[in-house]
Structure 1
Amino acid sequence: MKAVVFDPVSGASGDMIIGGLVDLGARKDIVENAMTCITDFGEVEVDITKTNRQGIDGTMVSVTSDDNGDRRYADIVKAVESCGLDDAIIRDAIAIYEKIADAESRIHGVPKNRLHFHEVGTADAIADVMGACAAFHDLGFRECAIHSTPVYVGSGFVDTKYGRLPVPAPATLEILRNSGLIFRGGPVEEELLTPTGAAILAHFVQKCSTFFPEIAVKKIGYGAGSKELEMPNALRIVVGEMDALIHDSIEVLETNVDDVTGEILGNLLEELMKLGAKDVAIIPATMKKGRSGHIIQIIAKPADVSVLARKVIEETGSLGVRIMPVRHRLIAKRKMASVAIEIAGKKHKADVKIATDSNGKLMNISAEFEDCKRIANENGIPVKEVIRRVEEVAWSRFKSTL
């Protein structure tokens, strides 16, 4: 599936995000029209040019306006709603400003219907939000998986209408708090991540990871920032193809035991599954001094690891549980459905498990064993025959619909 990865090692602002998207191919006329479509707060001038940051070519977006902001949140929403752009772009822009408003409301202790924006409410800030949304849709990125690496926010202090504030600015930090974004301080004493940039990323990014996801790179765009820094001041955006299987974060727990009976192990397996284990395997092993033993192996979500490890120690007397380093596993999307088969003139229902990739491509169908066993017993035929018939009907029914 197609994926987009933001790599904000030099932070992010609205104009850097737009620049990176234009560098990837978003049409300038579409973007400029979106950025200048709201005239309620004064004229906005947009200049989109190629530039170079320490040897890296990129696109820089400059937005100028004589507007000084200081307007109500409700007025911004009203202006966006009546701007005449596509409904999808308007919805995204309003959702981004909703994130900003939630942050400002919490920081200042003022209800959103009484909020007055300053820097984030200027005509050029509004233009940045509109331009980013328009570019995103022009590239078709709303249908892609959107990832990000950790966002560098800078450090030190920034001058605002409220005075000198620490970096990240309170509004930026509040937006980050309510997002799935990971952030890091530094690497320079500057404000690298603006509230507008944080809100745009928080809205569009679906997953933030320490490292790049596994991706076959097809295209790279650079959105240049206005400041000259000691490192390339550019937001890198990577477009590529990821495996259509779903990435699922897991951890593997493991321990060895040599003095636990089969009954205890069987009970432990059931208890671990009840506590949320994704799978449990108990593997025969030869231990030290030739003793027979078992390796207990558990696949689990990271949040369930502590509870499951404690259960293993309590039930087996093990002195420790290893947690194996696993980045993620690739899994198919799974759903349940029901099909009917006819045996000796009588219809029987059985559930099937359907596996697809994230694009909806059918990968496998398996019949639920207990249903097939019940039907086999009722009709005096082998259970494998029932499984064959159920899966045959399911493949015929679902192959053309998924």
Structure 2
Amino acid sequence: MRILAFDGRMGASGDMILAALLDAGADPDALEPVTNALEVEYRIDETVKCGLSSTTVDVCYPGGDGSETRDHADDKHEHDGLDHDHGDHHHEHDGHEHDETAVSAEGHGPHRSYLEVREIVEGMALEPTVEADALAIFELLGEAEASVHGESLEDIHFHEVGADDAIADVVGAAALVDDLDPEGIVTTALSTGGGTVSMSHGEYPVPTPAVVEIAERSDWSLRGGPVDAELLTPTGAAILGYYADGVETLPSLDLEGSGYGAGGYDLDPHPNVLRVLVGEGGRGELVKDDIAVLETNLDDATPEVLGGLQETLADAGARDVSILPATMKKSRPGHLVKVICKPADRERVARALAEETGTLGVRDAGATHRWIANREFETVELDLEGETYAVTVKVASDADGEVYDVSGEYDDALAVARKTGLAIREVLRRAESIAVESLE
């Protein structure tokens, strides 16, 4: 299983992620759809941070007289808790040929609404997976901002993260991840830095409100320090919040490569770099699936209501519904209903559960993930007595694609059994046998 593992000890920002992925071997040509759509360029250079040779990325507008470039490591500008990218756009350049009149795009260009950003991304002619990933990252950013400001996602306006450079960071990261094509992405705890930052509403502590909101929706952990500076920006948090599972330590990897993406601050003795490792690991594991588990106890539900929960809750987003007999207060017989859903669907599913059953309370059981198989469905054909019958077969495999179970669908087998007189078990056996042969 090919894994990208980020080392979060110095935080992350959008351009640091771009730089680390490029340094790890991602193809810069994957960024071409972004430069065509936004009329920006990615200025890719090298620098040294505390002795570490690292890559830098700056999103620029071609042309100009260079008078608008600024030292962002010292710049204080208002950003509503949004991304000024770590001071990351003031870099040392080590001999690369560039248009010296290029102007840094950081914070420049219009500040757009979430819906305007979606429209721009959808118009970039990206690969479908890249577009879907980029839109999901902006949705995570939008949800965080909407929560901070008490607005709806559709009404939220971005500030820095709606500008051209932030769009280039997010879409560029999605394109480079797609180029590296990992099967899993993880990160250790992300350092936030410390101190305060200036925003339009005043001085706010690090991590900023948007980063806190994104972290609440993500699988990884935050930690403070190791310096008083803003190390984790909303753009960096959202990219890793979408892609990465949290790990306590870097996993065991059969290394293929590594990359270092430099930030703009010099934070001696700490090298201000984001490191990413690329390698093979996690052989034979199942796939980690983020979930929420909801529960409620019922002592007066009718069989009709209970029987309909599988369908009604599935419509609200439930992935699985279990109904177990239970003994309630005063030794009354009742039922325990357990529902598995995605974390983002928990409120909608809880509401549907309450409306369908009349329960006065739904518990969040606190589960965060489950381990599941990759599942594919194949249709096999059985030739029986001159007739051909289709049976669906479910194929289960681990994260490396190794198949460990093949199961025919009962309803299909039942239909064939009724028409042919064969036992259901025999229909399943034949269908599964054909599926196994096709996999060999």
Q: TM-score, normalised by structure 2?
A: 0.59
Q: State the Cα deviation string for residues 300-349 of structure 1 (Å, max 9, x = none).
A: xxxxxxxxxxxxxxxxxxxxxxxxxxxxx999779999x9x9xxxxxxxx
Give the equivalent residue in structure 2 for 1:3: 3
Counterpart selection for 2:56 from 42, 53, 60? 60
Distance 1:78 1:53, change over 3 A: same
Which amino acid counterpart does residue 58 of structure 1 have in structure 2?
S
Paired residues of 1:68 and 1:118 also in contact (CA < 8 A)? no
Distance 1:67 1:211, change over 3 A: closer
TM-fit CA distance, 1:363? 4.0
Paired residues of 2:3 and 2:185 also in contact (CA < 8 A)? yes
Report whether the alignment pairs 1:196 with 2:235.
yes
Counterpart selection for 1:186 from 196, 209, 225? 225
Which amino acid counterpart does residue 212 of structure 1 have in structure 2?
L
Report whether the alignment pairs 1:100 with 2:141.
yes
Task: Name the % identity.
Answer: 39
d(CA) in 1 for partners of 2:208 and 2:438? Answer: 53
Structure 2 matches for 1:242-281, cutoff 5 A?
242=281, 243-246=283-286
Distance 1:173 1:331, change over 3 A: closer
Report whether the alignment pairs 1:72 with 2:112.
yes
Distance 1:13 1:36, change over 3 A: farther
Structure 2 matches for 1:107-186, cutoff 5 A?
107-141=148-182, 144-186=183-225
TM-fit CA distance, 1:161? 3.2
d(CA) in 2 for partners of 1:145 and 1:85? Answer: 22
SS of 2:10's equivalent in the other structure is coil
Counterpart selection for 1:217 from 239, 244, 255? 255
Q: Which runs of 5+ in 2 are unaligned?
A: 60-103, 290-322, 325-369, 383-392, 409-424
Which amino acid counterpart does residue 208 of structure 1 have in structure 2?
G
Paired residues of 2:287 and 2:399 also in contact (CA < 8 A)? no
d(CA) in 2 for partners of 1:248 and 1:65? Answer: 38
How many residues of Structure 1 are paired with residues of Structure 2 in the alignment? 311
TM-fit CA distance, 1:221? 1.1
Paired residues of 1:15 and 1:60 also in contact (CA < 8 A)? yes
Paired residues of 1:37 and 1:83 also in contact (CA < 8 A)? yes
SS of 2:439's equivalent in the other structure is coil
Give the equivalent residue in structure 1 for 2:366: none
Paired residues of 1:69 and 1:120 also in contact (CA < 8 A)? no
Structure 2 matches for 1:327-346, cutoff 5 A?
none
d(CA) in 2 for partners of 1:7 and 1:331? Answer: 26
Distance 1:331 1:125, change over 3 A: closer
Paired residues of 1:35 and 1:130 also in contact (CA < 8 A)? no
d(CA) in 2 for partners of 1:80 and 1:95? Answer: 11
d(CA) in 2 for partners of 1:13 and 1:211? Answer: 20
Give the equivalent residue in structure 2 for 1:376: none
SS of 1:192's equivalent in the other structure is coil
Distance 1:163 1:121, change over 3 A: farther
TM-fit CA distance, 1:223? 1.0
Q: State the Cα deviation string for residues 236-275 of structure 1 (Å, max 9, x = none).
A: 11111121332789xxxxxxxxxxxxxxxxxxxxxxxx99
Give the equivalent residue in structure 2 for 1:359: 400
Paired residues of 2:215 and 2:237 also in contact (CA < 8 A)? yes
d(CA) in 1 for partners of 2:123 and 2:437? Answer: 45
SS of 2:168's equivalent in the other structure is helix
Paired residues of 2:108 and 2:165 also in contact (CA < 8 A)? no
SS of 1:116's equivalent in the other structure is coil
d(CA) in 2 for partners of 1:181 and 1:91? Answer: 22
TM-fit CA distance, 1:170? 0.4
Paired residues of 2:287 and 2:398 also in contact (CA < 8 A)? no
Bigger radius of gyration among the two: 1
Give the equivalent residue in structure 1 for 2:305: none
TM-fit CA distance, 1:357? 2.8
Which amino acid counterpart does residue 217 of structure 1 have in structure 2?
L
SS of 1:97's equivalent in the other structure is helix
d(CA) in 1 for partners of 2:30 and 2:216? Answer: 32
Q: Which runs of 5+ in 1 are unaligned?
A: 250-273, 276-328, 342-351, 368-385
TM-fit CA distance, 1:116? 2.0
Paired residues of 1:118 and 1:161 also in contact (CA < 8 A)? no
Q: TM-score, normalised by structure 1?
A: 0.64
TM-fit CA distance, 1:175? 0.8
Give the equivalent residue in structure 1 for 2:336: none
